[in-house]
Structure 1
């Protein structure tokens, strides 16, 4: 009897920890981030995150998205005018600054991008965005 209770107990808690690691994709931040993405990013980077060849870079599988958080935050806050080379292809369309977005909106949309389209990277916090914004 004690063994059965122990097995059920372990199954419950192992399942609970799995569920907690799976929740971020449906978290409030991810849902809010998708709304911001749909409103401000999708037109250029497309619904699937693949961008537009030679104009708007992909958000799929690139170190610009999954690498340095501060660089990614700066791109959103300050925009980007220099051409980018990603996977051997050059992208020339400038990206406007989106500093009008709140720190929360930027954290949410970047967390969404870093964890969508097959990307798997850490979340971006409001504190990280606030810190980068202060460096202007």
Structure 2
């Protein structure tokens, strides 16, 4: 068998394998990278978070806190995930300003959506923090189920 026919055979086999795998598992093989998580997170941020925290993540004075270089955003992942899942109903002081608007729970978002949006926020607006994985969100969700 020549090289050209071998390549065609191999390519056909790979396409068939992927089609069968996707059919049997209802989803294609997909690897999530930080870049794809950030891109998906930006969509969630735009649709869910932007109205309160603004396009620049600067928040609204005395109402909705900024998401820029705050201990809430850059700090403990579990605390941040819990805030998104359960909401936040406390006055919070950030950089000398008090913010008092209640944040509703966003437990309607999937673990993946929460991980993506938090990864987006932790990697945007001048923030530099580690990513958040859907498995981390799932663990927190299980702990704090209502």
TM-score by length of 2: 0.75
Residue 93 of structure 2 corresponds to which residue in structure 1? 85
CA positional deviation for 1:131 = 0.3
Structure 1 residue runs of 4 or more that deviate by more than 6 Å after TM superposition: none
Distance in 2 between residues matched to 1:90 and 1:28, nearest whole Å: 34
Unaligned runs of 5+ in 2: 1-32
The structure with more radius of gyration: 2
Unaligned runs of 5+ in 1: 1-22
Q: CA-to-partner distance for each residue in 1:100-134, whole Å, 9 max, x for gaps?
A: 00000000000000000000000000111000000
Question: What RMSD, in angstroms, separates the aligned Cα atoms of the two structures?
Answer: 0.9
Residue 55 of structure 1 corresponds to which residue in structure 2? 63
Residue 104 of structure 1 corresponds to which residue in structure 2? 112
Distance in 2 between residues matched to 1:128 and 1:88, nearest whole Å: 31
Residue 72 of structure 1 corresponds to which residue in structure 2? 80
CA positional deviation for 1:28 = 1.0
TM-score by length of 1: 0.81
Distance in 2 between residues matched to 1:83 and 1:99, nearest whole Å: 21
